[in-house]
Amino acid sequence: MTGNTSELTTLQQQARTRHEIEAAITTMFAAEDEGLRSALELAKQAGLPQIQISPIQGKFLQLLATMCNAHKILEIGALAGYSGIWLARALPPGGRLISLEVNPEHANVVRNSFARAGVGDRAEVRVGKALDLLPQLESEAPFDLVFIDADKPPYPQYLEWALRLSRPGSIIVADNCIRSGKAFREPEDEAMAGIVEFNRRIASDPRLVSLALAMDDDYTDGFAIAVVKQIILRNG
């Protein structure tokens, strides 16, 4: 293999094209600023796993939050605050992001990252298991947008909570809902079982209009997205 374009197989050319498209979209529409880069740097220094969403996904979250005029956003799974920064930046003055994180060391990084990115006034991280913290959020609901990106086995329960804490018009988004197609097949482990069941529910719940969209990892992974219907039509 010489690396000569003429010797690349069709599959290799298609992979290269996908890669170039992703890079071009990132540069044109989803460039990271100092705050986002700093969050990644702090995460690296603290030895956190590099499993944050992509810049395109971050920009997409921002787009969705702006589309629904979000004032209150809930995130489940903060890691180092990277996705939280994209979301918090879509908030108007007085808006609020609450991000749930089970790992206190991650939460410390998040607080630093939020402060450095200039969103510390509107974004907060709460430490604990999401399923323990979610019941306490009922008095702060409804949320305009809920982003699910924590541990995978309880994804179906996170969907139930997202519905309970939302209103007609709210947007629900979850990461890792494609997983190279594993998210639509018979699950091989507990994590995939959670995602497969989540997809089944979000796709068929009569209260929701939903879609899974490939946009990450060379278009092999991505979000499932739903909006809570204003009116539930019998056949729509």
Interface positions with ligand SAH (CB under 6 A): 51-53, 77-79, 82-83, 100-103, 106, 129-130, 149-151
Closer residue to Mg ion in complex, CB, 49/206: 49
Residues written for the chain: 236
**Contacts to ligand DHB from residues 159-198, by CB under 6 A:** 175-176
CB of 204 to ligand SAH, least distance (A): 25
CB of 150 to ligand DHB, least distance (A): 8
3-class DSSP assignment, residue 43:
helix
Strands 221-228 and 72-76: unpaired
Is residue 124 close enough to count as binding Mg ion by CB under 5 A? no
**Contacts to ligand DHB from residues 45-64, by CB under 6 A:** 51
The Cα–Cα gap between 35 and 202 comes to 33
Query: Of ligand DHB, Mg ion, ligand SAH, none, which one does residue 101 interact with (CB within 5 to 8 Å by kind)?
Result: ligand SAH
Strand partners, 212: 224
What is the x/- site pattern for Mg ion, positions 165-204, by CB under 5 A? ----------xx----------------------------
Query: Of ligand DHB, Mg ion, ligand SAH, none, which one does residue 130 interact with (CB within 5 to 8 Å by kind)?
Result: ligand SAH
**Contacts to ligand DHB from residues 94-123, by CB under 6 A:** none
**59 phi, psi to nearest 5 deg:** -65, -35
Cα angle, residue 72 at apex, residues 215 and 210 outer, rounded to 5°: 40
CB of 190 to ligand DHB, least distance (A): 12
The 96-101 sheet, strands edge to edge = 123-127, 96-101, 72-76, 145-148, 171-174, 221-228, 208-216
Closer residue to ligand SAH in complex, CB, 174/212: 174
Q: Are 148 and 174 in contact (CB under 8 A)?
A: yes
Cα radius of gyration (the chain)? 18
Can you give the binding site for ligand DHB, defined by CB under 6 A?
Answer: 51, 149, 175-176
